[in-house]
Amino acid sequence: MNMLKIYNSLAREKQDFVPITPGQVRMYVCGMTVYDFCHLGHARVLVVFDMVQRWLRASGLQVTYVRNITDIDDKIIRRAQENKQSIGELTARFIDFMDADATALGVEKPDHEPRATAYVPQMLELIGQLESNGLAYQAADGDVNFSVRKFPGYGKLSGKSIDDLRAGERVEVDAAKDDPLDFVLWKHAREGEPFWPSPWGNGRPGWHIECSAMSSELLGKHFDIHGGGQDLQFPHHENEIAQSEGAHHCQFVNYWMHNGFVRVADEKMSKSLGNFFTIREIVKKYHPEVLRFFILRAH
């Protein structure tokens, strides 16, 4: 049997895939943030990692595949307020649409599909461990942040040194932080937003801590493959490594896989640029198997 070769983003080279436990594979993929319809870029994530897990199973390996759902997020809160509906109503609606899109594309359900809001206790435990390890602090504004410069391996996935990194990527620079590069683990409660009780006061989890908590709960502190879109390599996946390895003092993931973007006129397809086509629009014009083949023609 020819074993899978993976371009490992962490090693920056193509490597033979060797599972941690012979005959078993544990794989986590960052899934959708459910506040709108899935577009072709999302289809690429769904289809690419569906192909990977199918190949592994067809090779005789026992696979545990986890693909999460982010159901609490700044964009979700904003969209729910705009629509004058509850966050639960909004996310339930778009989870149903996502499931329908995935089914149309022949994407198999993952073994586990955790929703972030169901894992807040695990997130709090992880933040507490980081605080005990001297890697987290509560700022004057009530947020709990991760001290990036106190984690010596920061930048190893993105290949960037601390001095090269720029603050404010995907989040706004916050004057309350000890360092502009520090990122939020727990956001203090703000008026009109959902919150959970915590040792640091009422609030809600930051984006990055969600995946660290869900993956370790379902796959363990050290697992085989972590995947997602190329845009997640930094800062999201870099921050996941810092959180997980900073809390557990062991390697987090052996192989990092990142699929490339779907591009429109040489720009990444994204909701923020408004240059996207939804899956449901495309499958009205083309058979879903044609779309699936189109996606899998390129890395």
DSSP H/E element including 134: none
Instruction: Indicate the pLDDT class of residue 169, thresholds 50, 70 and 90.
Output: low
Q: In the chain, what percentage of residues exceed pLDDT 70?
A: 93
Crossing angle (nearest 10°) for helices 87-104 and 40-58: 60
**Residue 1: what pLDDT?**
52
pLDDT at residue 271 is higher than 90: no
Q: How confident is the model at residue 168 (pLDDT cuts 50, 70, 90)?
A: very low
Residue with tokens 């569906």: 50
Please tell me the pTM assigned to this model.
Answer: 0.94
* Rounded CA separation 187/74 (Å): 11
Q: What is the pLDDT of residues 219-253, one digit of tens each?
A: 999 999 999 999 999 999 999 999 999 999 999 99
Task: Output the pLDDT for position 172.
Answer: 56
The maximal CA–CA distance of the chain, rounded, in angstroms, is 57
142 or 265, greater pLDDT: 142
Mean pLDDT of 287-293: 96
Q: Worst-scoring range by mean pLDDT, 170-174, 187-191, 259-263? A: 170-174
Provide the CATH topology of domain 23-51+63-113+261-298: Rossmann fold (3.40.50)
Pick the CATH number of 117-220+239-250 from 2.130.10.10, 3.40.50.620, 3.40.50.970, 3.90.330.10: 3.40.50.620
How far is it, in rounded angstroms, from Cα 201 to Cα 203?
6
Q: Assess whether pLDDT exceeds 60 at residue 177.
A: yes
Domain boundaries, the chain: 23-51+63-113+261-298, 117-220+239-250
Report the pLDDT averaged over residues 76-94: 97
What pLDDT, on a 0 to 100 scale, did the predictor assign at position 163?
A: 78
Mean pLDDT, residues 258-286 taken together:
82
Per-residue HEC secondary structure of the chain comes to CCCCEEEECCCCEEEECCCCCCCEEEEEECCCECCCCCEHHHHHHHHHHHHHHHHHHHCCCEEEEEECEECCCHHHHHHHHHHCCCHHHHHHHHHHHHHHHHHHCCCCCCCECCEHHHHHHHHHHHHHHHHHCCCEEECCCCCEEECHHHCCCCCCCCCCCCCCCCCCCCCCCCCCCCCCCCEEEEEECCCCCCCECCCCCCEEECHHHHHHHHHHHHHCCCEEEEEEEHHHHHHHHHHHHHHHHHHHCCCCEEEEEEECCCEECCEECCCCCCCCCEHHHHHHHCCHHHHHHHHHCCC
Answer whether 23-51+63-113+261-298 and 117-220+239-250 agree in fold.
Answer: yes
Average pLDDT of span 52-69:
98
Q: Is the model's pLDDT at 208 over the cut of 60? A: yes
d(CA 229, CA 29) in angstroms, rounded, equals 9
pLDDT band at 269 (very low <50, low <70, confident <90, very high): low
- 203 by DSSP, 3-state: which? strand
Residue 173, pLDDT score: 60
Higher pLDDT, 175 or 68: 68
